[in-house]
Amino acid sequence: MKTKIYALLGILMMSAITIQVKSQEIPNGNMEGWSDVTAYENPVLYETSNFHIYNSGGELNAIKTTDAQDGNYALQLTTNPAPEVNVNGMAFIGYPGTNTIYGGVPFNKKPTAVKAWVKYDVKDLDTANIIVIFKTSTYVNGIARMQFTGVQTDYTEVTITPTWFLPYTILPDTMAVVLSSSTLEEEVDPQVGSTITIDHFSFVGVPDEFPNYSFEDWESVSLEEPDSWISSNAFTSNSTGASVLKTGDSYEGNFASQIITQKTIWGDYTGFLANCYVGKEDIYGGMPVNDNPLKVSGYYKYTGIDSDSALLVARTTYFDESTNQSEILEEVFVKLGNASEYTPFEIPFQHTGAPLADTLSLVFSSSDYSIEENVRLGSSLTLDDVSIIYESDNVAENALSAGVSPNPATGEIRFQLSHLLDKSMKIQILDAKGEVVKTQTVNVRSMTTSMDVSALQPGIYFYRLTGGNKPLEGKFIIQ
Ligand SMILES: [Ca+2]
Ligand SMILES: [Ca+2]
């Protein structure tokens, strides 16, 4: 049941997909935009697989259905596909760990049976599960387990008799529950479409009511998320707390993102901010770019517990039409050590020229997951002012600017166009961010043409002249 940490890093938030295709800036790189996101609903007292499927890019798979046997609602679990993994529909009271379950709700009786109303459609080779675990201290006192295969179209009541492992006089103190639409065996793949709907739990032989027995009580899981980023919050908020927080300790503006290594509901550790999905085996998606990034830079603070360090991963890819799939151009790993004051960082790329990158994927982690034994709860990475520089920015910097005068300019600049006579030319002025701030089309009649730049703020600008045999680029300064 333990999920590999990279699976836990696989996170999806639909809002994060609304990346501006035209923009070459890193969306919300200044960490100023934050929104409350209602991710999904869970039955009260239960954690569910919704966080996992939500993060993996599939449909929610632990849902409130009105197809109830009792009252208004029932719990429907379905094994749904996500881009990299089929996610078992699960709901649990307590936190599943390796071969055990932690936590639960107080319960101190020994019922003779657990009953539930169920309907299901479990695919071939698959098995749905209802497991109720009675614990005394940390020991398993008894288990009531039923497995389901095949199809049951109408609600039917099942009676599940517990097996008790401890003497009858030793009562449990805690009850935990695991409900699953698919197999819990790690070696067996959950089958897409396996589903079980559960309603109206009851006990036999004791007067106690099963907690939230009829799945009538549900609660929304809301997260405060940095806009346009994908965070690890959905993995951690319900167990140990948020792993990505809005902090007022900013380098610029009002806010920065603080990423903290927290325990997930699976007992693993995670804390990350990404602009892509990260699946079990790989990362995928990211922000569209139309030029090769030269470097991603920003400012950070870091407090690593023991020998932990922060890990920044950046990958560029391009779509190769000959193979009809995205190929990796470059992958860069940068580790950051402790920094109590804001410190600049850079993720440098080597690749230039063709093929041009079309996607940039970024994953910023508060722990160095490449050295698993160093990962520590509470390691904290604060990031702000994350930005990107592209190859073309550099070309512009290095291009000859001798054709422009005066430089620095004030109210007007002149372009020398000696080899471009009798052409219709377009002159674009771009600001330091690469945004076009002024465009002028001229029919060149002399060796010089001029442009009024008095409306532009002082700063560094780039010019781009097109219409000649080849574009001319360069930079100039307005004082
Ligand atoms: Ca900021
Ligand atoms: Ca119900």
Classify strands 150-160 and 100-102 as parallel, antiparallel or unpaired: unpaired
Give tens-digit pLDDT for 425-458.
778 888 877 788 988 887 656 667 788 888 888 8
Cα 31 to averaged position of ligand 1 atoms, centre (Å):
5
Report the topology of domain 399-478.
Answer: Immunoglobulin-like (2.60.40)
For residue 391, what pLDDT band results from cuts at 50, 70 and 90? confident
Cα 382 to averaged position of ligand 1 atoms, centre (Å):
10
Cα 384 to averaged position of ligand 2 atoms, centre (Å):
47
Cα 298 to averaged position of ligand 1 atoms, centre (Å):
10
Please report which ligand is nearest the Cα atom of 202. 2
Please report which ligand is nearest the Cα atom of 30. 1
Higher pLDDT, 165 or 474: 165
Cα 166 to averaged position of ligand 2 atoms, centre (Å):
33
Cα 469 to averaged position of ligand 2 atoms, centre (Å):
73
Q: Stretch 187-214: mean pLDDT, rounded? A: 96
- Find, among 160, 156, 17, 148, the residue nearest to 89 by Cα: 148
Please report which ligand is nearest the Cα atom of 216. 2
On average, the pLDDT of the chain sits at 85
Q: What is the pLDDT of residue 447?
A: 63
For residue 396, what pLDDT band results from cuts at 50, 70 and 90? very low
Ion ligand 1 residues within 5 Å by Cβ: 30-31, 250, 252-253, 384
Cα 25 to averaged position of ligand 1 atoms, centre (Å):
14
For residue 471, what pLDDT band results from cuts at 50, 70 and 90? low
Please report which ligand is nearest the Cα atom of 74. 2
Cα 163 to averaged position of ligand 2 atoms, centre (Å):
27
Same topology between domain 45-216 and domain 399-478 = no
Sequence spans of domains, the chain: 5-37+222-390, 45-216, 399-478
For residue 238, what pLDDT band results from cuts at 50, 70 and 90? low
Asked whether 318 and 357 are in contact (CB, 8 A), the reply is yes
Cα 30 to averaged position of ligand 1 atoms, centre (Å):
4
Cα 34 to averaged position of ligand 1 atoms, centre (Å):
11
Segment among 4-13, 99-108, 208-217, 419-428 with least mean pLDDT: 4-13
Please report which ligand is nearest the Cα atom of 218. 2
Cα 447 to averaged position of ligand 1 atoms, centre (Å):
46
One CATH from 2.60.120.890, 3.40.50.300, 1.10.3720.10, 3.20.190.10 for 45-216 = 2.60.120.890
Please report which ligand is nearest the Cα atom of 198. 2
Cα 136 to averaged position of ligand 1 atoms, centre (Å):
49
Cα 256 to averaged position of ligand 1 atoms, centre (Å):
5
299 pLDDT above the threshold of 70: yes
378 pLDDT above the threshold of 60: yes
Torsion of CA 74, 80, 82, 88, to 10 degrees: 80
Burial of 438 (0-12, 13-18, 19+ CB in 10 A): middle
Please report which ligand is nearest the Cα atom of 199. 2
Give tens-digit pLDDT for 9-33.
333 332 233 333 333 799 999 999 9
Please report which ligand is nearest the Cα atom of 75. 2
For residue 462, what pLDDT band results from cuts at 50, 70 and 90? confident
Report the topology of domain 5-37+222-390.
Answer: Jelly Rolls (2.60.120)
Q: What is the pLDDT of residue 470?
A: 55
Please report which ligand is nearest the Cα atom of 155. 2
Cα 277 to averaged position of ligand 2 atoms, centre (Å):
35
Query: Cα–Cα distance between 132 and 140 in angstroms, integer?
Result: 11
pTM of this structure = 0.62
Cα 366 to averaged position of ligand 2 atoms, centre (Å):
42
Please report which ligand is nearest the Cα atom of 252. 1
Cα 214 to averaged position of ligand 2 atoms, centre (Å):
4
Please report which ligand is nearest the Cα atom of 254. 1
Q: What is the pLDDT of residue 291?
A: 83
Asked whether 80 and 59 are in contact (CB, 8 A), the reply is yes
Cα 170 to averaged position of ligand 2 atoms, centre (Å):
32
Ion ligand 2 residues within 5 Å by Cβ: 68, 70-71, 199, 214-215
Please report which ligand is nearest the Cα atom of 201. 2
Cα 216 to averaged position of ligand 2 atoms, centre (Å):
5
